[in-house]
Chains A and B, each alone.
Chain A
Amino acid sequence: MAHTSATTVSPGRSVWDGGVSPMGVSYGKLMMWFFLLSDAFTFSALLITYGLVRSAHDAYTGTVEAFTFSTEYWPIPEKVFEAVPFLHGIELPLVFVGIMTFILIMSSVTMVLAVEAGHRMDKKAVEKWMLWTLLGGITFLACQAWEWTHFIVGTDTPTLVKDFVNGAWVTKEVTGANLSVNQYGPSDFAGFFFFITGFHGFHVFSGVMFNFLIYYNTFTGVYERRGSYEMVEKVGLYWHFVDLVWVFVFTFFYLV
């Protein structure tokens, strides 16, 4: 395409003297890579701050079976995230978030298949795989909406939480979570949940918008007339990055 092979440099000149693409990718793809690198810094800052604040709090030391919610120590994630839609009252630790992980990995695979179809100029196949990718993204967002609702509404039994109300400390029963108190543990726990999964969810939402745009442009034949499906690759990079971030969120927020 637009980029020239780095081997066609005239004698005495370096590949960095201009006129060729030493990195072997187009401008748009290169800039997508650098944007993703900067985005990686943002997500790392969030996850590392989570690590900092978590390690600054006391850890729960008892057995997993005897665990109860308390603001005295950081909660064990598998005891917080154990609900699955339509299965009220049944403890299924991390099952739902595992399903979400699987959905996102699958939508990454369908994205790669769309890119592969684009290389072959196969319009119908690109459309098909973009639709699957869209379905995966939207399903993930729906799951996250449920997860958030469950987290905010809370469980059947409230936790006693000390809170500072009108200049005095009071002990009150709390169910669910908001940005100041929550039933699961220290106030920061819910704050990080909302901020990290929210920021990731917003990326997924943007990704779904971009994917729809790609699907629309493929459907109307924009890329076929252009003679290249490189836009699918660029948005594909973004979509895989969203999957990549979820792999880290899954490990550091839900497993560790």
Chain B
Amino acid sequence: MSHSQEPQVTVLPPDKEKIKKLWTVAGILGALTAVEFLVAFTMAHGNLKTAIFVGMTIVKAAYIVGEFMHLRYEAKVLLWSILLPVIFIVWLLVALIYEGMKLSAINF
């Protein structure tokens, strides 16, 4: 393994289209965060505000997982192997928030 056997590497030029798309996604994520800030200081606390935050968080998560982590372009079987188990998280959320509301009804 001498150094004379270094492989010849061909460097390809940057994929302008792809890079532009990545910055677009970054812009969307930044804009969504800015809107979240706006909502945080202009809306009264309540279920609607929480729903808006949760909705926007899911949109941001979809962009990060789909575009940055490239999951949108992977084989469908991989996509569903990752997304379907998330059902367990949703179940835990529903179960424990319900539990929490029941707990608050008990006066310790």
Contacts and interface: CB of A to CB of B under 8 A. Distances in A.
Interface stretch (A98-106, A138-146, A161-169): A98-106
Q: How large is the interface on B (under 10, 10 to 19, 20 to 34, 35 or more residues)?
A: 35 or more
Contacts of B7: 224-225, 227
B104 interface: yes
Given A22-B77, A98-B33, A122-B11, A51 B26 contact: no
B107 to A, nearest CB: 10
Contacts of A2: none
Contact of A120 (B12, B53, B54): B12
Q: Is chain B's binding surface mostly helix, strand, loop or mixed? A: helix
B104 A55 contact: yes
Interface residues of A, number: 61
A210 B13 CA distance: 27
A37 B85 contact: yes
Interface string B53-90: 11011001100110011000011011001100110110
Interface in A33-68: 33, 37, 40-41, 44-45, 48-49, 51-58, 64
Interface in B89-108: 89, 92-93, 96-97, 99-101, 103-104
B98 to A, nearest CB: 9
Contacts of B12: 119-122
Contact of A116 (B15, B33, B57): B15
Contact of B18 (A54, A116, A244, A247): A116
B57 A112 contact: no
B77 A23 contact: yes
Contacts of B65: 240, 244
Contacts, number: 144
B89 A33 contact: no
Given A51-B93, A51-B97, A105-B26, A25 B41 contact: no
A77 to B, nearest CB: 9
Nearest to B90: A44
Contacts of B99: 52
16 contacts: A41-B89, A51-B97, A52-B100, A56-B100, A56-B104, A57-B104, A78-B40, A78-B41, A108-B64, A117-B14, A119-B12, A120-B11, A120-B15, A122-B11, A241-B69, A251-B57
Query: Closest 9 A-B residue pairs measured CB to CB?
Result: A55-B100, A56-B103, A120-B12, A52-B100, A24-B75, A23-B78, A52-B96, A251-B57, A44-B89
Given A33-B81, A53-B100, A241-B69, 16 more contacts: A25-B75, A48-B93, A48-B97, A55-B103, A57-B104, A98-B33, A98-B37, A105-B29, A119-B12, A120-B13, A122-B12, A125-B14, A236-B69, A244-B64, A244-B65, A251-B36
Interface of B: 6-7, 9-15, 18-19, 22-23, 26, 29-30, 33, 36-37, 40-41, 45, 49-50, 53-54, 56-57, 60-61, 64-65, 68-69, 74-75, 77-78, 81-82, 85-86, 88-89, 92-93, 96-97, 99-101, 103-104
